Amino acid sequence: MIEAVGLTKRYGRTVAVDNLSFTVKPGRVTGFLGPNGAGKSTTMRMILGLDRPDAGQVRIDGKTYHQLDRPLRTVGALLDAKWVHPNRSARAHLRWLARSNGLPNRRVGEVLELVGLTSVADRRAGGFSLGMSQRLGIAAALLGDPQILLFDEPVNGLDPEGIHWIRQLMKRLAAEGRTVFVSSHLLSEMAQTAQDLVVVGRGRLIAQCTTAEFVDTASETSVRVRSPQLDRLREVLLRKGYALHVEPGVDGNALVVTGSVTSEQVGEIAAEQDVVLHELSVRRGSLEEAFMRLTGDSVEYRTDGQGPAGPAAAGSEDLMVAGGVNR
Amino acid sequence: MSVLGAERIKLFSTKSPWWSSLATVVFVVGFGMIFLLTTASLVREDGPAVPFRVGVSTTQQGIFFGQMVILVMAALAITTEYRFNTIKTTFQAIPGRTSVMLSKALIIGLLAAVLGEIAAFASWGLGRLLVTDFDLTIRTADQWRQVAGAGLVFAITAIIGLAVGALTRHTAGAVTALLVWAMLGEQLIGAIPRVGDKIQPWLPFNAGGHFLGVGPNQNEGAQTGTDLPYNAWGAVAYFAGVAVVLFLVAVLVVNRRDA
């Protein structure tokens, strides 16, 4: 269990993390989602006691990181696969880590086996490919058999096989009852692995919820209806104040009702009016759209040449969304 | 203890400490022998007219060069951690940064002490073999100090190197600062007219050298002009004091800073 309360980090005048509070529960993969520069890595460094928060704190099973005795037994982390001495062998890298936390030397062999690096364990880590470095980093994270695991953008730059391997590993670790907290700027990636989401933009919490809830609440849903009495249905719906448009298709014209609308509502209205329906389907916007909508104001670096929206404006919208989704 | 073990594995699992160790001994013995042989031949030719004597401390004149290698090695022990970001892994595994710094100091100090003893006694031993017409036997307590003291001076030197490395976090910056100070700075300050002589005893590396009788105020060498405000043990205590202060500042800064 990881609990962050009011976490804040400033670098000069830039606020990297702004009053961020969230909880990461055991037995699930929790995605830490946000655009690049949203403060994900900074937050992870604060969880691990590497960076000092300007305000707030993180508790790991009720303790701060500094209070943990032999922390690798409680928390394993892979923040950057290249954080190894290039002239040290993979085995030596794991050996000093094991020794530092009083872990038996056989754990080194075990985790090397687990990530499939046994055959290259005595080669210098500087010569490793990114995929191999990533595996070494994961071996280091698993060394103390910790109940809590942190991964920062673990699939970045990996080949499809490596991505698949990491996804399976994270799911397995969560299934074993561990707390898995994994950051990504790719929503599609998180949709594959994460059950819960902590969404941040420009250092602020945008939403904390399950991945399904996030999609339900945040993404645009629309209802598509086909009917031989399309014009009649359209009039009734318009009268009731629904936003809609006609969508031509191969199977004739269809109505697409947008805004906050459910298929139940449309179906009941149709029944009241004795309108025959040939199709009634809910269309969900993609996770990517939801993400763009929510973080649109929170992207630090834009391409449209405009500066980021004023803090007041962005703040109010974030709050609105967070209020709706947070629970 | 586990932190010490981890630091020991870290130090000896890369090549640079091995090369530095070899270089330390080679420099001390090599420069020591060059100095010993030239001094001995000068004294043989010109006899008492030369203002030198050949004694035990004459075999130890290469110490300073080994000391420079120790400075670099000790600085590297922490700057490479910053360079390759393993310092973050280190502090993640051991959140108590003070104990990391103390362990590093102990390991690198111990290595430096061992190297100092090996280099000093190798220099003295080899000197006795090469120069047989002068008495190079260690007899007095002062002579013992001048040879066996190298380990202590090297250990203190290593602490200074480590502290400056931790403060700068950059190999190039740390090495430049250390070498410019030790090799150039102290000589130039000592050369300032009038005040130079007064400041010189308080320059840390000069004080360390005085303990071994190899500094500019050496006992058996050329000039003994300056009246020193301390004896040999006072000198090394002062040198150690400077190292401790630097190290404490480094520990404080490392604890306060983001990794």
Mean model confidence pLDDT for chain B: 91
Alpha-carbon distance values, A279 to A223, A254, A273, A286 (Å)? 10, 9, 16, 21
Q: Write out chain A residues lying below 8 Å of B89, CB-based.
A: 83-84, 97, 140
Q: Where are chain B's structural domains?
A: 2-256
pLDDT of res. A51: 95
According to DSSP, the β-strands at A204-210 and A254-258 are unpaired
The answer to whether the beta carbons of residues B220 and B57 sit under 8 Å apart is: yes
Structural domains of chain A in order of their starting residue, each with its CATH number? 2-74+146-216 (3.40.50.300), 221-284 (3.30.70.100)
Q: Greater confidence, B1 or A272? A: A272
In which band, very low, low, confident or very high, does the pLDDT at B45 lie, cut at 50, 70 and 90? confident
Best mutation target, A54, A99, A124, A128, to test chain B (most B CBs within 10 A): A99
Whether A96 and B13 lie within 8 Å, measured CB to CB: yes
Mean pLDDT per 10-residue interval, chain A, length 327 residues: 95 92 96 90 96 96 94 96 94 97 96 95 94 94 97 89 92 96 88 92 90 74 87 88 83 81 87 90 72 64 46 35 36
Burial of A159-194, coded b for 16+ CB within 10 Å and e otherwise, reads eeebbebbbebbbebbeeebbbbbbbbbbebbbbbb
Whether A83 and B89 lie within 8 Å, measured CB to CB: yes
pLDDT of res. A262: 83
A200-218 residue pLDDT tens = 988 999 889 998 888 776 6
Q: Write out chain A residues lying below 8 Å of B88, CB-based.
A: 45, 50, 79-80, 83
Average pLDDT on B171-198 reads: 90
ipTM: 0.88
The neighbour count for residue A249, using CB atoms within 10 Å, is: 11
**Max avg pLDDT among A265-269, A306-310, B131-135, B158-162:** B158-162
Whether B84 and A85 lie within 8 Å, measured CB to CB: yes
pLDDT of res. B227: 64
Distance from B232 to chain A by nearest Cα, in Å?
Answer: 39
Angle between helices B150-168 and B204-212 (to 10 degrees): 160
Distance from A99 to chain B by nearest Cα, in Å?
Answer: 5
In which band, very low, low, confident or very high, does the pLDDT at B219 lie, cut at 50, 70 and 90? very low
Whether B92 and A102 lie within 8 Å, measured CB to CB: no
Residue among A77, A87, A99 whose CB faces B92 most closely: A77
The answer to whether the beta carbons of residues A59 and A16 sit under 8 Å apart is: no
A27-70 residue pLDDT tens = 999 999 988 888 999 999 999 999 999 999 999 999 999 999 99
B220-236 residue pLDDT tens = 443 444 567 888 899 99
The long-range contacts involving B214-219, CB below 8 angstroms and separated by at least 24 positions, are B214/B57, B214/B60, B214/B61, B214/B63, B214/B64, B214/B146, B216/B190, B218/B57, B219/B57, B219/B142
Distance CA A69, CA A146 (A): 12
Q: Greater confidence, B219 or B134? A: B134
Burial of A154 (0-12, 13-18, 19+ CB in 10 A): buried
Q: Greater confidence, A65 or B214? A: A65
Distance CA A50, CA B258 (A): 6
Whether A100 and B96 lie within 8 Å, measured CB to CB: no
